[in-house]
Structure 1
Amino acid sequence: MRTHARRAGINPQLLMAILYNESYKPHDPDLERSWAKIDSDPAFGIANMHRPAFDDTKRGRAFAVRKWEELPDDPELAIEAAAWHLHDLAKRLPSSRKSRLSKDELLALGYNAGGGNMRAFARGTNPGRQAQSYLDRLHENWDKSAKAIR
């Protein structure tokens, strides 16, 4: 996990906290595939990544030949893709921000709510109830994440 974060140039504690945030559902490959049969926009793997995010993130990367459908069976791929997705989100953050939120908080919100919403939050828009809930869970998982990556 730390290796993927380092290679992507992101805070490993942030990546771990996001993995904890995303652990709200069971990550069983068979269950995820069954759920995908009834959900038109499922998320796969331990990082709960949606297909468009994975496909955008993998371009030009070492895992470019991999498929989104592999995420449930390959936690390392899921972590690597999540790290690089956060890297890509960081490149989209405006250099001048009016938000009280930290870079890591903004990246977590971008991971959860998308890059467009992340940029709106960076410009000072307050997170809505769902985004705030994700941020609250991130804060709850922050210390646990620091311990996990030691």
Structure 2
Amino acid sequence: MAESRGRWRWLLLAGAALAVWAMARGGHGGAPDAAPRPSTASSAAPDAAPSATPGGGATTPRSDGVYDPADCAAAVRKYAAAAGVQPRLLMAILYNESYKPHDPGLERAWQRYKPDAAFGVANMHRAAFDEVKRGRDFAGRKWEELPDDRDLAVEAAAWYLHDLNRRLPAQRPAGHTRDELLALGYNAGAGNMLAFARGIPPGAQAQSYLDRLHENWAQADRAVAR
């Protein structure tokens, strides 16, 4: 889920994924849902109207494939409040995870090329989604729905951060703020988060994720303040 593969991987492999996507769509100009969908996927059409305004409403993928994490601001505020996490943190994570295209057809094409790929705007892996949904309002939803339902992706990410937060010790060495540790946990997993909380320094990949988080604070603040 939050294991960022880095922008370079997408630059190297995007061509292959795009080729698979084009074949699945039956050529450019074909209907966005030409590729077969899992039977568990949402019935909402992927070429639905562009994202709702920040005032509310479902955040659906845009028909032109353009993705801006700020489009999810209403969902971020709603689900961050429900899960008891900072909306700025959740939004900054969406910016961190926007390094790859978040078009539903392209995500599914990439998943066929790389079966362990993550889904949705929050880049969540199947096992993480199946774990975090237990006992929650979205327990009946499926991981395969994430590319088409950005609100569901944001909701799952918010509650995953909530669960990580419950695992953090109250007393820990100075070094990282709670939100920094939660972001590191989102990227590197709970076990590594707890190691960082004990004072072990992050490795290069985790530190890069943290650096990007800091770079995204300002635009995350602006987005959730809309």
SS at the partner of 1:98?
Answer: coil
List runs of 5+ in structure 2 lacking aligned partners: 1-75
TM-score scaled by length of structure 1 = 0.98
Partner of 1:101: 176
Q: Percent identity?
A: 68
Say whether residues 1:44 and 2:119 are aligned partners: yes
Say whether residues 1:34 and 2:109 are aligned partners: yes
Mapped to 1, the partners of 2:94 and 2:174 lie a distance apart of 24
Cα offset, 1:97, TM superposition: 1.0
List runs of 5+ in structure 1 lacking aligned partners: none
| Root-mean-square deviation (Å) | 0.7
Q: What count of residue pairs does the alignment treat as equivalent?
A: 150
SS at the partner of 2:132?
Answer: helix
Mapped to 2, the partners of 1:31 and 1:24 lie a distance apart of 14
Partner of 2:148: 73
Mapped to 1, the partners of 2:146 and 2:193 lie a distance apart of 24
Mapped to 2, the partners of 1:112 and 1:101 lie a distance apart of 15
Q: After superposition, where does 1:1-150 map in structure 2 within 5 Å? A: 1-150=76-225
Cα offset, 1:40, TM superposition: 3.2
**Which amino acid counterpart does residue 110 of structure 2 have in structure 1?**
W
Bigger proportion of residues as helix: 1
Q: Whose radius of gyration is greater, 1 or 2?
A: 2
Report if the CA contact (8 A) 1:99-1:121 is conserved.
no
Superposed CA deviations along residues 69-113 of structure 1, whole A, max 9, x for unmatched, are 000000000000000000000001112212400000000000000
TM-score scaled by length of structure 2 = 0.65
Runs of 4+ in 1 over 2 A off after TM superposition: none
